[in-house]
């Protein structure tokens, strides 16, 4: 399978080649993918060095002149380190831009906490107007980036190393119905789909796939619900989208289980798979949580 | 020394000598009034003699841009924009109130002619670097002039920007530092030396002298330019 981060870089370069209003700004990270194109387009592929505040503000400044900027570095530095630059440079100036991170919650698991960012989605969700995309396949990375750059809004694309075996069409604002069941609805976000499908293979539940979580497909969720029990499985902080599920079901007695990365700092290195298991996000952990959730209802 | 500019705007009839009357229409808290005055001559000279922009070209891609990074103390800025007919003089009377577009920090989405929303320090110069890159990439012969305060340079984000602006050779970028010696850890001469070390074209002027300001602010080379405009010390 192709490296999703490489796919991002290749697509970004092809967009720069095709459209003179598109620019890429990065901060050393992923420079190995941009070097050759940077020599061809030194005014529109810009490495600012290890300067993440500048990275974000340069993107905003480009947008102020009518350019369409793509900003890129690790999630921990793009969103968390330079958060006020995101809030004021894009939100308060009210300009558009496409922010693309790699590293996700713990792709750099052996690097420790400094390179892990399970809170990035929660954080950027506080800035008005950001679409948030969590592509679950290299084809989706390519498609959502092309879609985002063709528009004029504020978009955050979170590129994960872990990917699903099958790509879905990119339809921002619409979830896909992957399978129908009757006992609960499970919303799997981005690369959580394959582990979720493995976890619920013999359970009678509906599975929805979301590669865009903002806007959240409230209508799609409402229409898919036979039984008002919802399980949310997100590859970042647990509960990040819970308030939107609660809003959909506000007039219905309902139950919700929110799975995701836990709040306690996990002071471990190792592999991303080991971290997923530690947060209960591997098929075994997801199955254990969903089974307990369904049986708790039966007991009550 | 103050060298007043005699010219008046042909549409409003307001000139530099009318600015005190315009300022007096605004009531702000004491904290902001001194800072507003420190920028008065710089902002006036920019709009009167340097920038190629007018209310008619305020959306033109070819216009020169002025970024007031030091967003606190915007009274001189608002008064200058009124004098040049960007918005009605009556707006000054209610500034800072709930229904006024004029806040104690300017909002680009509310005020005609305002290029950036500012207030939090250390954002204007980094954004100006991006805009200078953007203008160059689009082959637009426009420039970006950004006003910062000497204490604003405390913010490290400015130093990221001044290093990269020089490395990229942004000759369409000018920073004017209004230096009223308000930073807590002042080193005399540091500002000019800092920009010079990074390879900027640096000029130090009297921030109240319109001829010196006009000459320094009009200067363009193949490097970014910094103008250090000294005014009265804030705490003297």
In this structure, is residue B140 part of a structural domain? yes
Look at the block and give the residue holding tokens 């990375």. Answer: A141
Tell if the CB–CB gap between B130 and A58 is shorter than 8 Å. yes
In this structure, is residue B60 part of a structural domain? yes
pLDDT score, position A298: 59
A183 touches B: beta carbon within 8 Å: no
Identify the closest residue of chain B to A86 by CA–CA distance.
B123
Please tell me the distance in Å from B141's CA to the nearest CA on chain A: 12
Q: Which positions in chain A touch B132 (Cβ < 8 Å)?
A: 61
The CA distances from residue A76 to A152, B113, B118, in Å, are 25, 36, 25
Q: Which CATH class is domain A176-299?
A: alpha beta
In this structure, is residue B141 part of a structural domain? yes
A40 touches B: beta carbon within 8 Å: no
Given a cut of 90, whether residue B126 has pLDDT beyond it is: yes
In this structure, is residue B2 part of a structural domain? no
Supply B16's token pair. Answer: 């530099």
pLDDT score, position B79: 95
Q: Which of A49, A51, A64 is the closest to B131 by Cβ?
A: A64
In this structure, is residue B7 part of a structural domain? no
Tell if the CB–CB gap between A61 and B115 is shorter than 8 Å. no
Q: Which positions in chain B touch A64 (Cβ < 8 Å)?
A: 65, 115-116, 127, 130-131, 134
Residues A123, A132: Cα–Cα separation, whole Å: 11
Given a cut of 90, whether residue B235 has pLDDT beyond it is: no
State the average pLDDT over residues B212-216. Answer: 98
The CA distances from residue A65 to A61, A169, B59, B190, in Å, are 7, 32, 10, 32
Residues in chain A predicted with pLDDT less than 50, given as ranges, are none
Look at the block and give the residue holding tokens 């420079």. Answer: A31
The CA distances from residue B193 to A28, B124, B147, in Å, are 28, 21, 18
pLDDT tens profile B27-82:
554 443 444 589 999 999 999 999 999 999 999 999 999 999 998 879 999 999 99
The ipTM (two decimal places) reads 0.96
pLDDT score, position A299: 53
pLDDT tens profile A250-265:
999 999 999 999 999 9
In this structure, is residue B8 part of a structural domain? no
What percent of chain B stands above pLDDT 90? 86
B143 touches A: beta carbon within 8 Å: no
Q: Which positions in chain A touch B105 (Cβ < 8 Å)?
A: none
A96 touches B: beta carbon within 8 Å: no
Interface test with A, best of B64, B110, B137, B167 (most A CBs within 10 A): B137
DSSP secondary structure code for residue B15 in this structure: B
Please tell me the distance in Å from B142's CA to the nearest CA on chain A: 10
Q: Which CATH architecture has domain A4-159?
A: 3-Layer(aba) Sandwich (3.40)
**This prediction's pTM:** 0.96
pLDDT tens profile B129-162:
999 999 999 999 999 999 999 999 999 999 999 9
Where exactly are the structural domains of chain A?
4-159, 176-299
Domain that holds residue B184: 16-230
- Helix, strand, coil: what percent of chain A each, to 5? 40, 20, 35
In this structure, is residue B1 part of a structural domain? no
Residues B178, A97: Cα–Cα separation, whole Å: 31
pLDDT score, position A49: 98
Q: How many domains does chain B have?
A: 1
**CATH value at residue B100:** 3.40.50.970
In this structure, is residue B10 part of a structural domain? no
The CA radius of gyration of chain B, in Å to the nearest whole number, is 17
């Amino acid at each position: 399978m192709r490296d999703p981060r490489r796919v991002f870089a290749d697509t970004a370069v092809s967009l720069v080649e095709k459209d003179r209003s598109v620019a890429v700004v990065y901060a050393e990270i992923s420079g190995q993918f941009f070097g050759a194109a940077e020599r061809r387009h030194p005014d529109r592929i810009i490495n600012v060095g290890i300067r993440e505040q500048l990275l974000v503000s340069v993107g905003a400044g480009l947008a102020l002149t009518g350019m369409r900027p793509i900003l890129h570095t690790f999630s921990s530095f793009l969103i968390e380190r330079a958060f006020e630059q995101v809030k004021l440079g894009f939100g308060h100036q009210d300009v558009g831009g496409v922010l693309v991170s790699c590293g996700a919650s713990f792709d750099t698991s052996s690097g420790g906490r400094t390179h892990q960012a399970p809170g990035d989605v929660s954080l950027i969700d506080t800035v008005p107007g950001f679409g948030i995309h969590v592509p679950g396949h290299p084809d989706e990375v390519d498609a959502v980036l092309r879609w985002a750059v063709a528009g004029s809004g504020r978009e955050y694309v979170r590129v994960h190393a872990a990917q699903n075996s099958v790509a879905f069409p990119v339809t921002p604002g619409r979830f896909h119905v992957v399978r129908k069941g009757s006992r609960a609805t499970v919303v799997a976000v981005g690369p959580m789909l394959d582990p979720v499908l493995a976890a619920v293979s013999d359970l009678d539940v509906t599975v929805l796939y979301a590669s865009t979580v903002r806007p959240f497909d409230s209508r799609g969720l409402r229409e898919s619900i036979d039984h008002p029990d919802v399980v949310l499985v997100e590859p970042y902080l647990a509960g990040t989208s819970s308030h939107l599920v609660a809003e959909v079901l506000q007039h219905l007695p309902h139950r919700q289980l929110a799975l995701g990365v836990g709040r306690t700092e996990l002071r471990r290195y190792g592999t991303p798979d080991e971290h997923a298991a530690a947060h209960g996000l591997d098929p075994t952990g997801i199955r254990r949580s969903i089974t307990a959730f369904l049986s708790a209802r039966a007991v009550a | 020394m103050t060298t007043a500019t005699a010219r008046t705007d042909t549409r409003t009839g307001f000139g530099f000598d009318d600015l005190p009357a315009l300022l007096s229409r605004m009531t702000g808290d004491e904290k902001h009034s001194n800072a507003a005055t420190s920028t008065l001559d710089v902002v006036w000279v920019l709009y009167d003699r340097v920038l190629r922009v007018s209310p008619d070209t305020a959306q033109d891609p070819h216009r020169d841009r002025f970024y007031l990074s030091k967003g606190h103390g915007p009274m001189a800025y608002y008064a200058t924009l009124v004098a040049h007919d960007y918005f009605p003089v009556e707006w000054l009377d209610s500034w800072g109130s709930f229904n006024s577009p004029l806040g104690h920090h300017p909002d680009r989405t509310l005020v005609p002619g305002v290029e950036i929303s500012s207030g939090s320090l250390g954002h204007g110069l980094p954004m100006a670097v991006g805009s200078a890159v953007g203008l160059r990439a689009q082959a637009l012969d426009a420039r970006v002039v950004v006003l910062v305060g000497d204490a604003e340079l405390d913010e490290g984000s400015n130093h990221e920007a001044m290093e990269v602006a020089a490395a990229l050779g942004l000759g369409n970028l000018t920073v004017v530092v209004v230096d009223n010696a308000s930073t807590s850890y002042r080193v005399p001469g540091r500002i000019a030396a800092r920009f010079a070390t990074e390879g900027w074209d640096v000029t130090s002027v009297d921030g109240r002298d319109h001829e010196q300001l006009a000459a320094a602010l009009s200067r363009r080379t193949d490097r970014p330019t910094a103008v250090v405009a000294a005014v009265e010390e804030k705490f003297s």
